[in-house]
Amino acid sequence: MVKGCKSAYLIEAQSGECIYKENEYTRMPIASVCKVMTLTIAMEAINDGKLSLDDVVTASENAAGMGGSQVFLGSGCEYTVDQLLKSIVVCSANDSCVAISETVAGSESAFVEKMNGKAAELGCNDTLFANCTGLPKANQYSCAHDVAIMFKNLLSFENYFNYSKVWLEDFVHPDNRTTTMTNTNKLLKKYSLCDGGKTGFTNEAGFCLAATAQKDSMRLISVVLGADSSDNRFNSVIGMFNYGFANYKNKIVLDKNVTLNDEFTLSGGKKQSFAVCPERNCYVFSAVNKTPEITYNIVAESVKAPVVKGQAVGKIEVFKDGILCDTITVVSAEDVKKAGFGDNFVNISGQWAL
């Protein structure tokens, strides 16, 4: 399944459950796969309102002078954050990485501190960044396990997929130059289920790849590091994807369009209880030949009328074989108005009738 690679790791993207592993904690250089974290810090800045896709960045001489893979930014030229992020995802542009790092943190070194801080927050204990590009530098490493965790986190940002499926596109510079970007992730053409990934290569790191693919409700993340050829890098990831999709499944156990059997009680409403449903679907990951035991624990909040359909009113904890695997917000499936005087009188009368 994995050929010519020093380490490999395959997980299901929602649960993070491991399907296949080989030397997954071995520390080694990961080349441009390090940009998974570069993109993460930038995406977080956007989510936090500190950066906007429409913001204009002036490329510094330092950024424009970066070597390796690049989109040939012009020193002093202005580019949008959207342009720069797309060039990082599509063609692994080192110059765009540095321009983004200087914009977000003031300097690349300050940005790298943020990268290492986020890695620690995610529990990536075998990762250390020394720059935001992955170009060779001392004391810089990660492992297949940590790369998978970091990539899983990156996939939570919807903007990523706006760029990751671009195969070929022109990058237009403000001085009317054009650089043609071609996606370095050849799996987009080689494997129809793949919709994202980050490649990396240096002589020291070998051929590296973190990629994701989705089939029906199941998304997988596959990582290979230190491959001895580009073909072995891509073919090993394809082999892991095929194995995962053939031998594992995601079964829906809660449907957001189906109300729960339990109704929640309500005070001060025209009704004394109301229907609820999960805010989103819940899937449980397991091997095809296994049927895990699924149990639930529903926690209701104290709710007073009025209630609006879609309002959060509690949570439901989902357990797989006795282990908590997901927690989902429970929402009202209906509107319930506040009780008027007449409603309260009917309720009281009903109690007297007993």
Please report, for residues 207, 255, 278, 287, 331, the alpha-carbon distance to residue 260 in angstroms, rounded to integers and kept in the order given.
Answer: 49, 9, 8, 26, 10
Residue written as tokens 């007449």?
342
CA atoms within 13 A on the CB side of 340: 1
Q: In terms of Cα–Cα distance, which of 283, 191, 189 is closest to 241?
A: 191
| Active-site position among 32, 69, 222, 286 | 32
Q: In terms of Cα–Cα distance, which of 136, 152, 168 is closest to 37?
A: 152
Q: For residue 285, which amino acid is it?
A: F
What gap in Å lies between CA 178 and CA 91, rounded to an integer?
14
In terms of DSSP H, where are the helices of the chain?
35-47, 61-64, 81-91, 94-105, 108-121, 144-154, 159-164, 187-190, 230-247, 341-352
| Active-site position among 6, 7, 35, 96 | 35
Token pair recorded at residue 210 = 């973190």
CA atoms within 13 A on the CB side of 126: 16
Q: Is 192 a catalytic residue?
A: no
Q: Is 35 a catalytic residue?
A: yes
Q: Is 32 a catalytic residue?
A: yes
CA atoms within 13 A on the CB side of 234: 13
Q: In terms of Cα–Cα distance, which of 285, 284, 259, 257 is closest to 273?
A: 259
SS3 label, residue 155: coil
Give the largest Cα separation in the chain, rounded: 86
| Active-site position among 7, 92, 96, 164 | 92
What gap in Å lies between CA 45 and CA 49, rounded to an integer?
6
Instruction: Specify the length of the chain in residues.
Output: 354
Which residues belong to the active site?
32, 35, 92
